[in-house]
Amino acid sequence: MNNITTESNNKKEPLEILEFKNVSFGYSDQKMILKNVNLKFSKGKTYALVGPTGGGKSTTAGLMVRLYDPQEGVIEFKNKDIRSYEPAELSNGIGFILQEPFLFTGSIAQNIAYGNADFEEISETELEMFLDSMGLIKLLEKFEDGLSTQVNDNSENISLGQKQLVAFMRILLRKPELLIMDEATANIDTVTEQYLNEIISKLPKETTKIVIAHRLNTIRDADEIIFINAGKVKPSMSFDEALHLIDSSKRTS
């Protein structure tokens, strides 16, 4: 009958895209980086992870993309244990931009398309059209031969800032549901950083963003600030409280 609604149709999609449930992790049993951490990241919000160098910010981000698995507890992505996803499925849903991205020998086009089945077989002209449609085409001006620019062994002919731009183009083409940026603009000039921020702001409103950064404007613009240090996590802080903790904290891990 048309007036019957199934239980599945009544279910609301969960507001949290990522959740830490009693998560503990350490590189050795003697020194834990995170201890019994519980965190929820809601869809469409921007989070800033702050704390002293070595306090556990990057480790927390690494756990989100399964660079490591916790010794205790569970991390859930879209209400499922993150360990239950195939690597390709996880990389399509979660974009992770590092401070020092990895590039392999080949063209800039090949590096951008790497790991993306939708783009690995297309021509440079077609890839350029896709980049243009997303407002990313201007970034190619930073490369002498555009998409045809070659990356040599160990990518020594490409600056760190250029590597970060490749990482941005590679990840943003996937339109991830969760975008994690670990000091991702640290080696990019201010004008280009502003340009990238404009592009990121145009991602779907459901996109969740997690930022690790020391620049105050990034922290100030976040919906929620989370302080991480000495195995403990303190969420939902005000900007002033975050600044105080950053100033007063010392490296403890």
For the residues 193-216, what does the mean pLDDT come to? Answer: 86
Q: Average pLDDT over the chain, rounded to whole? A: 86
pLDDT of the residue at 14: 56
* Domains contained in the chain, number: 1
In a domain, 4, yes or no: no
Radius of gyration of the chain (CA): 20
* pLDDT tens readout for residues 24-52: 999 887 788 999 999 999 999 999 999 88
Query: What pLDDT is recorded for position 77?
Result: 97
Q: Rounded to 10 degrees, what is the CA torsion of 129, 134, 137, 138? A: 160
Residue 203 maps to a domain:
yes
Q: Report pLDDT for 248.
A: 79
Q: What is the pLDDT of residues 102-118, one digit of tens each?
A: 899 999 999 999 888 88
pLDDT of 208 higher than 90: yes
pLDDT of residue 2: 40
Query: Does residue 163 form part of some domain?
Result: yes
From 67-71, 106-110, 229-233, 247-251, the region with the lowest mean pLDDT = 247-251
What pLDDT was estimated at residue 178?
97
User: CA 43, CA 178: separation in Å to the nearest integer?
Assistant: 8
- In this predicted structure, what is the pLDDT of residue 251? 46
Q: What is the pLDDT of residue 183?
A: 83
2 in any annotated domain: no
pLDDT at 118: 85
Q: Which residue has the higher pLDDT, 217 or 108?
A: 108
Is residue 83 scored above 50 in pLDDT?
yes
The whole-number pLDDT of residue 230 equals 83
Give the residue, 252 or 175, on which the prediction is more confident.
175
| pLDDT above 90: percentage of residues in the chain | 51
Which pLDDT belongs to residue 12?
Answer: 55
User: What average pLDDT score do residues 151-161 get?
Assistant: 88
With the C-alpha atoms ordered 116, 122, 124, 130, is the resulting torsion angle positive or negative? negative
- Can you give the pLDDT at residue 250? 53
Q: Identify whether 112 is part of a domain.
A: yes
**Report field, pTM of the whole predicted structure over 0.75:** yes
Query: By the 8 A CB rule, do 130 and 119 touch?
Result: yes
Is 66 part of a structural domain of the chain? yes
Asked whether 236 and 40 are in contact (CB, 8 A), the reply is no
What's residue 246's pLDDT? 78
Distance of CA 40 to the CA centre of its chain: 16
E strand residue ranges, the chain: 16-28, 31-42, 46-50, 72-77, 80-81, 94-97, 106-107, 150-151, 178-182, 208-212, 224-229, 232-237
In a domain, 99, yes or no: yes
In a domain, 152, yes or no: yes
- The per-residue pLDDT for 13 is 56
What confidence tier does 155 reach under pLDDT thresholds 50, 70, 90? confident
Average pLDDT over residues 145-158: 91
Task: Residue 86: give the domain boundaries.
Answer: 15-248
Give the whole-angstrom CA distance, residue 51 versus residue 60: 12
Is the pLDDT reported for residue 5 higher than 70? no
CATH number at residue 164: 3.40.50.300
